[in-house]
Amino acid sequence: MTTHNTILIPGDGIGPEVSAAVRKVLDAADAPLIFHEHRAGVAALDAGLDVLPDATVDAIRKHGLALKGPCTTPVGEGFTSVNVQLRQRLDLYAAVRPVRSLDGVKTRFDDVDLVIFRENTEGLYAGVENDIVPGVVTSMKIATEKASLRIARRCFAYTQQRGRSKVTVFHKANIMKKSDGLFLRCVKQVHEAEFPGVTYETRIIDAGCMKLVQDPTQFDVLLMENFYGDVVSDLAAGLVGGLGVVPGANLGEDCAVFEAVHGSAPDIAGQKKANPLALLMSAVMLLNHLHESRGCDASHDTAERIKHAYNRALHDGATTRDLGGDLNTDTFADAVIERLP
Ligand code: NAI
């Protein structure tokens, strides 16, 4: 069986706990992956390394694949987010986040099926901030044609390939006429020139969010710039059971880094309360990516078996506390392993 070298960044906070649980499930399922562990963020600083060591970035570049736990970013001070840095350095320009209702997870809606496409390299997260004079700062929002066109292209291609029904862009081009205006123009250009068969609509983001919480079934694929994508991902997670159940992929042309939407959750770190499912689902996305990009049938088979097992666990009420159950990080992993076909 072909195996695939994969970088594992456990992260910090709940990261090491959920990463260990996910690794246990992957090992039990005989996933065709060989993990190489690397550090980033607080874990790297604690080991006396740079916050984002070159060795970590180079290893991902070499093997093209990583599974990543969350990394803390200090609020209002300190180092630049390693998550943002990693996406920029590896040019992981497309964040893809499927948000789906799960059998056994009771929420207001039982038929949510969304995919969020977030531009991952620029916007307000370009990190261009300046103190102009004491008491006055600016944060620059960067929008380029290059980044806007390629995220639009990737989003429409995904929508078409998966046979999904439509793309909705969330924007604020009524106020940010230049930056969001450019984003919107680029998406329209790609739609008209390359994907005229895909249904396409636009929503001003504030009204779009209202519609999203009122009836998420009216949306399918949501496309937006960096900051909006960050916020709307968490909002959408709230529609299907919270941050414990939403996975994600950060995709470039040569590299792919899979990570949950959630952060390091310092409020529950070290207590084994964290739900490892979002990272496990991210690992399933990684396995499916291997199937699609490298033709690895064993990856697809492992992904299907793990999906079957966690769906079964949820259906049987074997859940962590965030979903109303009484399992902890490790016992949930055991419950999934017990149900592997
Ligand atoms: P968070 O996502 O870490 O936590 C928000 C809330 O959701 C908390 O109450 C937490 O306990 C809960 N939660 C999150 N993941 C959970 C899980 N797997 N199981 C059960 N409950 C879970 O967001 P917060 O508190 O805003 O950020 C904490 C830190 O994480 C910050 O330093 C932030 O910058 C960083 N962060 C890192 C990300 C990454 O590495 N990709 C993404 C988002 C935030």
**Fold category of 1-105+242-341 in CATH:** Isopropylmalate Dehydrogenase (3.40.718)
Judged by DSSP in three states, 36 sits in strand
**229 neighbors 116 (Cβ within 8 angstroms):** yes
**Whether residue 331 has pLDDT greater than 90:** yes
Q: Name the closest-CA residue to atom 41, ligand 1.
A: 70
Does the CB atom of residue 42 touch ligand 1 within 6 A? no
Q: What is the pLDDT of residues 165-179, one digit of tens each?
A: 899 999 999 999 999
- Give the tens place of pLDDT for each residue, 259-317: 999 999 999 999 999 999 999 999 999 999 999 999 999 999 999 999 999 999 999 99
CATH number of the domain at 108-114+121-239, please? Answer: 3.40.718.10
| Residue of 262, 322, 330 to test ligand 1 pocket, by largest number of atoms within 8 Å of CB | 262
Give the span between the Cα atoms of 13 and 82, in whole angstroms.
Answer: 14
Give the position, in ligand 1's atom list, of the atom nearest the Cα of 279.
Answer: 18
> Per-residue pLDDT averaged across 103-116, rounded?
95
Spatial distance between the Cα atoms of 317 and 105, rounded to a whole number of angstroms: 9
Residue bearing tokens 């506390």: 321
Please enumerate in sequence order all residues whose Cβ is within 8 A of that of 224, keeping only pairs 6 or more positions apart, or say none: 116, 117, 118, 119, 169, 170, 171, 205, 232
- Region 201-229: mean pLDDT is 98
Report which protein residue has its CA nearest ligand 1's atom 38. Answer: 263
Would you say the CB of residue 77 lies under 6 angstroms from ligand 1? Answer: no
Report whether pLDDT(105) > 90.
Answer: yes
Query: Given a cut of 90, is residue 330 above it in pLDDT?
Result: yes
How far, in Å, CA of 154 to CA of 220, rounded?
15
Atom of ligand 1 nearest to the CA of 41: 40
Which residue from 243, 268, 272, 323 has its CB within 8 A of the most atoms of ligand 1, so it is best to mutate? 243
Q: Which residues have a Cβ under 8 Å from the Cβ of 107 and sit 6 or more positions away?
A: 101, 239, 240, 241
DSSP notation for 261-301: SS---TTTTTTT-S--HHHHHHHHHHHHHHHHHH--HHHHH
| Confidence band, pLDDT 50/70/90 cuts, at residue 150 | very high
Residue type, 167: V
- pLDDT attached to residue 95: 98
Which atom of ligand 1 is least distant from the CA of 70?
40
Please tell me the distance between residue 274's alpha carbon and the centre of ligand 1 in angstroms.
Answer: 10
Ligand 1 within 6 A of CB of 243: yes
Residue 71 beta carbon below 6 angstroms from any ligand 1 atom: yes
- Tell which residue, 82, 85, 86, has the closest CA to residue 59: 86
Which candidate, 33, 100, 45, places its Cα nearest to that of 72? 45
Question: pLDDT digits over 33-88, tens only?
Answer: 999 999 999 999 999 999 999 999 999 999 999 999 999 999 999 999 999 999 99
Q: How far apart are CA 56 and CA 58, in angstroms?
A: 6
Residue nearest to atom 5 of ligand 1 (CA): 265
Of all protein residues, the one whose alpha carbon is nearest to atom 12 of ligand 1 is: 265
Ligand 1: which residue has its CA nearest to atom 1?
Answer: 263
Confirm or reject: Cβ of 225 under 6 Å from ligand 1: no
DSSP string, 236-265: HHTTTT-GGG---EEE-SS-EEEE-SS---
Of ligand 1's listed atoms, the one at least distance from the Cα of 262 is 2
Give residue-wise pLDDT tens across range 7-20. Answer: 999 999 999 999 99
Q: What is the pLDDT of residue 243?
A: 98
**Alpha-helix residue ranges (DSSP H) falling in the chain:** 15-28, 42-46, 54-63, 82-89, 145-161, 179-194, 205-214, 226-237, 277-294, 297-315, 329-338
Helix (H, G, I), strand (E, B) or coil at 34: strand
Give the three-state DSSP class for 302: helix
Domain ranges of the chain: 1-105+242-341, 108-114+121-239
Are residues 82 and 73 in contact, defined by beta-carbon separation less than 8 angstroms?
yes
CB of 180 shorter than 6 A to ligand 1: no
pLDDT score of 1 more than 90 = no
Same fold, 1-105+242-341 and 108-114+121-239: yes
Q: Is 274's C-beta closer than 6 angstroms to any atom of ligand 1?
A: yes
Q: What is the pLDDT of residues 20-35, one digit of tens each?
A: 999 999 999 999 999 9
**Residue 10 alpha carbon to ligand 1 centre in Å:** 14
Burial of 197 (0-12, 13-18, 19+ CB in 10 A): exposed
Question: Token match 């695939």: residue?
Answer: 4
pLDDT averaged over every residue in the chain: 97
Q: Please state the pTM of the whole predicted model.
A: 0.97
